[in-house]
Amino acid sequence: MKISRRLLLTAAILSAALPALAGGRERSSNGPASGTVVAESRFGHGTVTGPVRMTSLGRQVRLPGGTWEYCKRSCSETLRASTVDFWEAQNPTGTGAECGIFGCLTLRYPR
């Protein structure tokens, strides 16, 4: 009888905790599911803040002009590349494009 009570208690605790844990993991992987994000220029052009919303197709960030754009890797990177670093993102070498999951990495080879 003691084992079944412990098993029921463990199952109840896990069933209550798992949705919260899964939700926390989702938000922390790419920023908040809703709220605001701040994007800072990689080229000294300042910062910009934009609200984030969740839609049925994914997260969107609002640009300063009012347009909602789907977040790619992260909402702050999408906002940065679409606003303060827009012209650098148009560069064919891609120096201002959105950074990857490990951030903005630069490879330098010694001469």
Can you tell me the distance from the alpha carbon of 27 to that of 39, in angstroms, rounded to the nearest whole number? 17
Per-residue pLDDT reduced to its tens digit, 27-53 = 434 444 579 999 999 889 999 999 999
Residue 6: Cβ-neighbour burial (10 angstroms; 0-12, 13-18, 19+)? exposed
Q: What is the pTM of this model?
A: 0.60
Can you tell me the distance from the alpha carbon of 82 to that of 84, in angstroms, rounded to the nearest whole number? 7
Give the alpha-carbon dihedral of 58, 63, 66, 72, to 10 degrees: -20
Per-residue pLDDT reduced to its tens digit, 43-85 = 899 999 999 999 999 999 999 999 999 998 889 999 999 999 8
What size, in residues, is the chain?
111
Q: Quick one: pLDDT at residue 63? A: 96
Structure tokens at 44: 């000294």
